[in-house]
Structure 1
Amino acid sequence: MNILWDFDGTLFNTYPAYTDILYEVLGSRVSKEEILSHLKISFTHAVKHFGIDEEQVQRILAKEQDLHPANTPPFPYVENILKFSDINVIMTHKPRKEVVYILDYYGWMKYFKEIVAGDDGYPKKPDPSSYIYLHNKYGVDLVIGDREIDIMPAKVIGIKTCLFQNNTPGADMYLTTYEDFFKNLIEV
C-alpha cells in the first residue's frame, strides 16, 4: 500500500503547540478552543478569521520555526502504519526545512520516499497538482489527512481517503486513533 500523508495534525501532533503560539500572539483575547477550531480548517482561515496582521503572521511563523520537535510529537501508533506501507510520501504546506528537522529528530526520514513541501512551488491544497504528481510517480492508494482540504485533491483524482480525528463527511475511512488503522483498512 502506498500512502500520501499530510504532516501537521496527521503524522505529528502539532496543533497544541500552534494553538499556544496563536494564543500568545493574540494576547489571550480568544480561547484556545476557538483558536484550535479555526486552525483545524487552515492557518490561512485562522489568520482571516482573527484579523491577524502581517507583523503578527511573521511572529507566529518565527515562533513556529523555533519550536523544538519534542513539542510536536508523532501520534501514537502512526509509526506502525509507516512500517507497514510499501511507500510513504508527504504533501504539506510546511517549509521543507521544518519538515526535515522534525523527521530527522524522530529518525523518520527513512520512511518517506518523497516530500512535497510548501516551498516547492506547488499550489496550496485543495489544488490537486501536487497529489497528481505524487500519484503519477508512486501510485498512491490512500491519502491520510486531518482536514477536509487534505482529502479534497484525492477525491478529485479518485484516490481513497482517510480523515484522522475529523468526522467531516466525504472520506472513505475515519480514524480517531492510528491504533484502529488495520481494523478499518479491511472496511475500505
Structure 2
Amino acid sequence: MNILWDFDGTLFDSYPAYTSVLSQVLGDSVDEKEIYDQLKVSFSHAIDYYGLSEKQINEINNLNKLISPNDITPFESVEKILTFADKNVIMTHKSRAGVSAILNHYGWDKYFVDMVTIDDGFPRKPDSLSYVYLHQKHHIDLVIGDRLLDILPAKELGIQTCLFQNTNDAADYQLSHYEDFFKVVNIVKAQ
C-alpha cells in the first residue's frame, strides 16, 4: 500500500505549538481553543478570520522558525503504519527544511521515498497538481490528512481518502486514533 500523508496534524501533533504562537501574537483576549479550531481549517483561513496584518504574519513566521522539533511530536502508533506501508510520501505546505528537521529528529526520514513541499512551487491544496505528480510517480492507494483540503485533491483523482481526527463525511474513512488504521487497510484491500 502506497500512502500520501499530510504532515502537520496528521503525522505530527504540531497544532498546539502553532496555536501557542498565534496566541502570543493575538494576545490573551483570544481563546486558544478558538485559535486551534481556526488553524485546523487552514493557516490562510486563520489569517482571514483574525484579520492579521502583514506585520503579524511576519511575526508568526519568525516565531514558527523558533519552534523546536521537540515541540512537535508524532501521533501515537503512526510509526507502525509507516513501517507497514510499501511507500510513504508527504505533501505539505511546510518548507522542506522544516519537514526534514523534524523527520531527522525522530529518525523518520527513512520511511519516506518522496515529498512535495511549499518549496516545490506547486499550487496550495486543495489544488490537485501536487497530488497528480505524486500519484503518477508512486501510484498512491490512500491519502491521509486531518483537514478537508488534504483529501479534496485525492477525491478529485479517485484515490481513497482517510481523515484523521476529523469527522467530515467527504472522507472514505475516518480515524480518531491510528490504532484503528488496520481496520481501514482491510477494507481498502478488499475493494
TM-score by length of 2: 0.97
CA separation in 1, counterparts of 2:82 and 2:130? Answer: 20
- Range that drifts further, 178-187 or 155-164: 178-187
Q: Which residue of 2 aligns with 1:75?
A: 75
Q: Identity across aligned pairs (percent)?
A: 55
Tell me the equivalent position of 1:45. Answer: 45
| TM-aligned CA deviation for residue 27 of structure 1 | 1.0
Secondary structure in 2 matching 1:10:
coil
The C-alpha deviation readout for 1:1-37, integer Å capped at 9, x for no partner, is 0000000000000001100110110012210111011
Equivalences for residues 1-188 of structure 1 within 5 A:
1-188=1-188
CA distance in 2, matches of 1:63, 1:46: 16
CA deviation string 1:53-72 (max 9, x = no partner): 11111111111111111100
Query: Which residue type is aligned with residue 162 of structure 1?
Result: C
Post-superposition shift, 1:185? 2.2
Cα distance in 2 for partners of 1:187, 1:87 equals 19
- Cα RMSD (Å): 0.7
SS at match of 2:73: coil
Task: Specify which structure has the higher proportion of helix.
Answer: 2
**Superposition deviation, residue 121 in structure 1:** 0.2
- Amino acid in the other structure paired with 1:89: V
For residues 68 and 166 of structure 1, what CA distance do their matches in structure 2 show? 26
Residues 117-176 of structure 1 show CA distances to partners (whole Å, capped at 9, x for unaligned) of 011100000000000000000000000000000000000000000000000111011001
In the alignment of these two chains, the number of paired residues is 188
The gaps in structure 1 that reach 5 residues or longer are: none
| Structure 1 residues 85-105: Cα deviation after superposition (integer angstroms, max 9, x where no partner) | 000000000011100000000
